[in-house]
Amino acid sequence: MTKKMKKKLIRIIISFILLILAFILKLDNVIINNILFIISYLIVGYDIILKALRNITRGKVFDENFLMTIATIGAFFIGEFPEAVAVMLFYQVGELFQSYAVDKSRKSVSELMDIRPDYANVYRNEEIEKINPNDVNIGDIILIKPGEKIPLDGIVVEGNSFLNTLALTGESMLKSVTVNDEVLSGCINNEGILKVKVTKEFGESTVSKILDLVENASSRKSKSENFISKFAKYYTPIVVIIAILLALIPPLLTDTNFKTWIYRALSFLVVSCPCALVISIPLSFFGGIGASSKIGVLVKGSNYLEALANTEIVVCDKTGTLTEGIFKVQKVNAVGYTKEDLLKYTSYAENYSNHPIALSIKEAYGKAINEKQVTKTKELKGKGIIAKVESKEVLVGNEKLMEEYNIDYKKSNDIGTIIYIAIDKKYAGSIIISDKIKDDAYKAVKEFRRNNVKKIVMLTGDREEISKNVSKKLRLDKYYAELLPQDKVKKVESLMQEKSETGKLVFIGDGINDAPVLALSDIGVAMGGLGSDAAIEAADIVIMTDEPSKLANAIKISKKTMQIVKENIVFAITVKILVLLLSSIGATTMWAAVFADVGVSVIAIINALRILRVKED
């Protein structure tokens, strides 16, 4: 409980004691009795009155503070002192409960915010200085002791340890790191002492980008939140006008006195307070975003969380999303060269590429590359690479590249990714590389079906045979193979036409090569965002690990959030309308009105907090 909440609780207790004291004493001196009521009222409600006055000066007249102030002061004027105090007292009890609920919900996100480092131990002039992470430069060497947060992204230059990545990924498994491994800010060094060379300034580091993402998430409101904001904007002035008419017109048209109808109008004002809707709906979304962050899924706004509940089509990239993206050379078919020479020329041509296929070829070659022997490297998107290696023109790529340069090549029937090589315009052979379907991909497809996703589609630039094999094993609805980046965009545009008016298309990819498709889809999901700047920047939702099933869990959280939001809206409006009608005909007292208002708010808030109990499958 925060200090502010503790102070409010103390005020509520003192006010309640004075209220009970006034009832127990039942003094003959009405003035002293009423003074006790007034003191009790001011102790518990002074902040509400001040807020109402402050908001009036700012042009925000019709809010819950104004309604409570008018209702309670009005009750004093007609002599209902005990009810005036009770209304404010129970309203503040509701506010305290609301603050507690918001605080509890906020903790689920604040756990992620704890990844912000407080300091960095930097080597300067052969001494260690403890400085602000913002003041650390690229190239500086920092020391990270066991138990400390890694303050900036970098490369390990000395030491080995295990890192706790729970705050970033939602995974409890420790990650082993040693010399030359990349480490990311926000992780916690679990065991050994590490010396790390900084590769990014703090403002560009992983931790900084994630914190910005989380802090800005609440600025993107859902349709439900916008509806409630507009509803409250028009609803409150209308009920105030109705209350005024209720207090004035009936006594003028009938023989009843003004006090009776003013009392009914004040009860009407109390129960009309839209707190249950104004608080519980944003709280539900905030809780949903918090629950998602706990499992390592960062949602950039409640609008995306709301849209996720209506997912009809999930479109997946293949490599790195459904498959591990760890390629291994399985076979080398050399023509006119030895297998070693073919691997050499191919590795040299792929020297500047960090694509998984290129890395697997260089790993299979296993020797140092003399970069001076490589000149005029040119990449042809969706086709391959052309390079000058030892004065020879080397073409490395797919069938399209061979056909474009009129190479008389032998088409391979092997299953896997096939890389064709031509040297000086002559076919030199092929290299077969295969990838493995992730175990988690099977789970993801199963969970998508369970969450009523109607269609699961795979897009890939890989060969037809490989794509068909992956699609068949995962039991996908459809796949499109041998696509260039622009072809993927066209396919997504086509698939967008297949969903219903309210349905959403979600694309999940790596956030780097698929940026145009991420932007085009209703919801772009970047997977493996841990350490990927482009993923964090490009997508609407970022999965911090390489597990596609996390998206299925996020859909589950989204659906639960929307269910709770709808329950709260229906429940609150139904009860409000019922009690408003009863108040207008005098069938309820102001006591009943305040219990109805606070009760509805408390129940709606408790219901909103249920979202935090949604567990990852």
Domain that holds residue 165: 120-151+153-199
d(CA 605, CA 102): 9
d(CA 523, CA 550): 15
pLDDT higher than 50, residue 27? yes
Residue 88 included in any domain: yes
Q: Tell which residue, 502, 531, 431, has the closest CA to residue 208.
A: 531
Q: Show which of 434, 462, 494 is a domain's final residue.
A: 434
Q: Which residue has the tokens 């260690």?
A: 128
For the domain that residue 131 is a member of, what is the CATH number? 2.70.150.10
Same domain? 12 vs 74: yes
Q: What's the farthest any 2 CA atoms get from each other in the chain?
A: 116
pLDDT at residue 29 in the model? 67
Q: Show which of 544, 571, 599 is a domain's final residue.
A: 544
Q: Which residue has the tokens 């190239």?
A: 139
d(CA 593, CA 270): 6
Structure-model confidence comparison of residues 210 and 66, the more confident one = 66
Overall residue count recorded for the chain in this entry: 617
Residue 290 included in any domain: no
Kind of pairing between the strands at 504-509 and 311-317? parallel
pLDDT at residue 617 in the model? 46
Chain centroid to Cα 542, Å, comes to 7
pLDDT tens column, 116-159: 678 889 988 778 888 888 889 999 999 999 888 888 889 999 99
Q: Residue 477 burial (CB < 10 Å; 0-12/13-18/19+)?
A: middle
Whether 153 sits among the annotated catalytic residues: the reply is no
pLDDT higher than 70, residue 110? no
**Residue 120, beta-bridge partner list:** 131
Residues 6 or more apart in contact with residue 53 via CB below 8 angstroms: none
d(CA 294, CA 172): 11
Same domain? 147 vs 97: no
Same domain? 40 vs 93: yes
Residue 16 included in any domain: yes
Q: Show which of 434, 455, 474 is a domain's final residue.
A: 434
pLDDT at residue 476 in the model? 95
Same domain? 13 vs 91: yes
pTM of the model: 0.69
Type and span of the H or E element at 51: helix 30-57
Residue 523's φ and ψ, nearest 5 degrees, are -135, 120
In the chain, the N- to C-terminal Cα span, in Å, equals 31
Same domain? 451 vs 539: yes
Share of the chain above pLDDT 70, in %: 88
Same domain? 104 vs 223: yes
Average pLDDT for residues 34-60, to the nearest whole number? 87
Computed on alpha carbons and rounded to an integer, the radius of gyration of the chain in Å comes to: 33
pLDDT higher than 50, residue 54? yes
Poorest-pLDDT segment among 18-32, 150-164, 558-572: 18-32
Question: What amino acid is encoded at 17 in this protein?
Answer: I
Residue 165 included in any domain: yes
For the domain that residue 309 is a member of, what is the CATH number? 3.40.50.1000
pLDDT tens column, 510-542: 755 676 787 788 998 888 765 556 556 667 888
Residue 213 included in any domain: no
Same domain? 45 vs 189: no
Question: What amino acid is encoded at 379 in this protein?
Answer: E
d(CA 141, CA 156): 9
Residue 378's φ and ψ, nearest 5 degrees, are -135, 130
pLDDT at residue 214 in the model? 59
Average per-residue pLDDT for the chain = 82
Residue 553 included in any domain: no
pLDDT tens column, 327-365: 788 889 998 899 999 999 999 998 887 777 888 899 898
Q: Tell which residue, 212, 213, 156, has the closest CA to residue 189.
A: 156
Same domain? 453 vs 490: yes
8 A C-beta contact, residue 607 and residue 567 = yes
Same domain? 400 vs 450: no
d(CA 155, CA 158): 9
pLDDT at residue 250 in the model? 85
Q: Tell which residue, 462, 463, 448, has the closest CA to residue 525.
A: 448
Average pLDDT for residues 449-474, to the nearest whole number? 89
8 A C-beta contact, residue 298 and residue 214 = yes
pLDDT tens column, 400-424: 899 999 999 988 877 778 899 999 9
Share of the chain above pLDDT 90, in %: 21
Same domain? 338 vs 375: yes
Residue 425 included in any domain: yes
Same domain? 441 vs 539: yes
Average pLDDT for residues 86-111, to the nearest whole number? 70
Same domain? 248 vs 308: no
**Residue 129, beta-bridge partner list:** 122
Q: Which residue in 63, 153, 317, 462 is the catalytic one?
A: 317
Q: Which residue has the tokens 């795979």?
A: 458
Residues 6 or more apart in contact with residue 577 via CB below 8 angstroms: none
d(CA 391, CA 194): 44
Query: What is the tally of structural domains in the chain?
Result: 4
Q: Which residue has the tokens 């070693």?
A: 340
Q: Tell which residue, 502, 498, 496, has the closest CA to residue 519.
A: 496
Residue 208 included in any domain: no
